[in-house]
Amino acid sequence: MNTEISGILLMYALVIAFAIPLGRYIGKIFNYEHTWLDSIFDPLDKLFFKLSGIDPNEEMNWKQHLIALLTINLVWFIVAMLVLTNMSWLPLNPDGNPSMSGDLAFNTAVSFVTNTNLQHYSGESGLSYLGQLILMLWQFISAGTGIAICAVVFVAMKERTANTLGNFYSFFVRSCTRILLPIAFVVAILLAFNGMPMTFEGKDTMVTLQGDTVEVSRGPVAGFVAIKQLGTNGGGFYGPNSAHPLENPSYFTNIIENCSIFLIPIAMIFAMGYVLKRKKLAFTIYGVMTLGFLLLLVPSIVSEMNGNPAITDLAIAQPMGSMEGKEVRFGPAASANWAVYTTVTSNGSVNAMHDSMTPLTGMFAMLGMMINSFYGGVGVGFLNFYIFIILAVFISGLMVGRTPEFLGKKIEAKEMKIAMIIALLHPLLILTSTAISSYLYASNPTEYAGWLANPGYHGFSEMLYEFTSSSANNGSGFEGLGDNTPFWNIACGLVMLMARYLPIIGPVAIAGILASKKYIPESNGTLKTDTPTFGLMVFAVIALVAALAFFPALTLGPIAEYFSMI
């Protein structure tokens, strides 16, 4: 077999091999069962709660959970804004990098708060080490927020009839200390020992083979990259992200980083199976997500490995496939693989330039973000999928002649209203914001010429990708877009905020309302949700609701580009 393909198979196999036991472990954490790390973390957690004066045993209803979540996020958002706009004179700035402008700081802070990590700056020249550290902290907080709120939904799904669903602060601290911290620690050490910098010293100088003297940016890279990959954050230390040789030095680090993207999102599904004691349901959900993921992955890899037809037309051989914008140490298959991993999970780190991918790969990357629930971001990916389950349960419940119910709870008008609003939100944000930018550009192409490196279909794809990435809280970009302008900073910032918090509030509200409803025991007439048939139904709903709405937009972007290339 082609070694490139075997590399990809190996990565997926590694993910599953680690995700299954990790899922069990995460399940135990949320069930407050004993684990072998308790002796280390119990005192640490106690210290946190003692210092903050929070009672981790106080039971909260779903509304209180959301308030707690928003409070934590707001406090740290303000801290991040202050640091980013003042870092030039704050400590840990050996390279003397400047502070950020207001709109860029807003965009950056929002993008890290929302687990998006859309970077309209380059880390090596745009941030001090303090800036990097505060962003690194955010990569923990936003990932921990996602995992914790997902745990709340698990508890809500598990309870027969309950109004209170545990304590958010407790879930949050446990997510950060017991899940993210130990795994990030192991990954960071692996990366640091494989060529990644981990230092607070400033730039180093080196002499290249050509004899030039160049300055090389350094910093606490390994620690930063570990959580960036694990928490589906994706915000790189360096501008080129994991395509940069110091952020992803070898194929081996590429395997670690690539696997880290999927590890927790997939483990969360198995954790759900453990918490709910519904392994079959977990496997059904995993199956649907995997099917969707493969449908995006396989054509992307094929497309990249086949090379670019426009270059073939120039009578230039492409023995390695399409190599534009890719790193030679990874090759087209591993680059396409990463591109799909990073977009389906809302991670957003890159190891190749997505802007240079063939049109179809670009489209599948966008589709992954438009659907945003084939594994999805840590915690929130499951919440997005939960909305699709509710919609699928409703339609299929009617199809079998029974008022729809999910895990013994009736789905009624109120839940449908919330589910529909959340399902609507993503297309609304992506399409409207892209429409505004298209309108601005079309009405005055000369004024906005700086936006698009490639006008035409690809330029449209660049704008569409940017907003899709913002709305999916992904953070990757078609970097041909000149995006560090007030319009893009603020527009993307707003999209990120809405696309982060509303899709958290919606599913939590539904799960909370359902949890307080009366439990209906299963009978022969109850539609089972852990069967392949129901899985197929969910898949169909996703395809029809999430994907079809974007068909016209994709037609004018990547599809038109694809057809005009062949």
| CA separation for the pair 320, 144 (Å, rounded) | 40
Instruction: Return the number of other C-beta atoms located less than 10 Å from residue 560's C-beta.
Output: 17
Q: How many whole angstroms separate alpha carbon 386 and alpha carbon 377? A: 13
In the complex with another protein, the residue whose CB is nearer, 277 or 528, is 528
Measured from the CB of residue 415, what is the shortest distance to another protein in angstroms?
8
Nearer to another protein, 35 or 485 (CB): 485
Q: Which of 74, 77, 65 is nearest to 151 (CA)?
A: 65
CB of 14 to another protein, least distance (A): 34
Give 122 or 438: the residue with its C-beta nearer to another protein: 438
CB 445 within 8 A of CB 455: yes
CB of 432 to another protein, least distance (A): 6
Between CA 227 and CA 235 the distance in angstroms is 10
By C-alpha distance, which of 520, 428, 345, 130 is closest to 337? 345
CB 266 to another protein: min, Å = 26
What count of other Cβ atoms lies within 10 Å of the Cβ of residue 33?
A: 12
Q: 202-235 burial by CB neighbour count: b if 16+ within 10 A, else e? A: eeeeeeeeeeeeeeebbbbbbbbbbbbbbbbbbb
Closer of 43 and 552 to another protein (Cβ)? 552
CB of 460 to another protein, least distance (A): 6
- Taking only Cα atoms into account, the Rg of the chain, rounded to an integer number of angstroms, comes to 23
Q: What is the DSSP string of 120-149?
A: SS-HHHH--HHHHHHHHHHHHHHHHHHHHH
Output the smallest distance, CB 372 to another protein, in A.
15
Output 45 or 415, the one with its CB closest to another protein.
Answer: 415
Scanning the structure block, which residue is given the tokens 């893009």?
488
Residue written as token pair 């509304």: 63
Provide the minimum distance between the beta carbon of 26 and another protein in the complex, in angstroms, as a whole number.
Answer: 30
Residues found near another protein in the complex (CB under 8 A)? 391, 394-403, 408, 411-413, 416-417, 420-421, 423-424, 427-428, 431-432, 434-436, 438-439, 441-443, 457, 460, 518-521, 523-528, 531, 533-534, 536-537, 540, 544-545, 548-549, 551-553, 555-556, 559-560, 563-564, 566
Q: State the minimum distance, in angstroms, from the CB of residue 424 to another protein.
A: 6
In angstroms, give the least distance from the CB of 280 to another protein.
Answer: 12
Question: How does strand 405-406 pair with strand 213-216?
Answer: unpaired
Taking the least distance from each CB to another protein, the nearer of 57 and 524 is 524
Q: Return the structure tokens found at 523.
A: 């009978």
Q: Which is nearer to another protein, 76 or 534 (CB)?
A: 534
CB nearer to another protein: pick between 5 and 428: 428
Q: Nearer to another protein by C-beta: 186 or 398?
A: 398
Q: Which is nearer to another protein, 32 or 439 (CB)?
A: 439
User: 452, 441 in Cβ contact below 8 A?
Assistant: yes
Least distance between another protein and beta carbon 13 (Å): 31
In terms of CB distance, is 340 or 390 closer to another protein?
A: 390
Calculate the dihedral angle through the C-alpha atoms of 415, 421, 424, 428, rounding to the nearest 10 degrees: -170
Nearest Cα to 95, choosing from 242, 237, 240?
Answer: 237
> Which of 476, 515, 447, 488 lies closest to 157 in space, CA to CA?
515
Nearest residue (CB) to another protein, 66 versus 390: 390
| Min CB(456)–another protein separation in Å | 8
3-state secondary structure of 452: strand
Measured distance CA(39)–CA(75) in Å, rounded: 30
CB of 377 to another protein, least distance (A): 22
Cβ atoms of residues 272 and 382 within 8 Å: yes
Closer Cβ to another protein, 291 or 548, answer by number:
548
Helix axes 457-471, 486-516, angle to 10 degrees: 40
Cα distance between residue 26 and residue 10, in whole Å: 24
Which CB, 178 or 458, lies closer to another protein?
A: 458
The minimum distance between CB 66 and another protein, in angstroms, equals 22
Angle 342-340-274 from CA coordinates, rounded to 5°: 70
Least separation in angstroms between CB 264 and another protein: 31
DSSP result, 201-254: ---EEEE-TTS-EEEE--SSHHHHHHHHHHTT----SSTTGGGSTTTS-SHHHH
Q: Which residues pair with 205 in a beta bridge?
A: 215
The 8-class DSSP code of residue 480 comes to T
Tokens coding 420: 């529909």
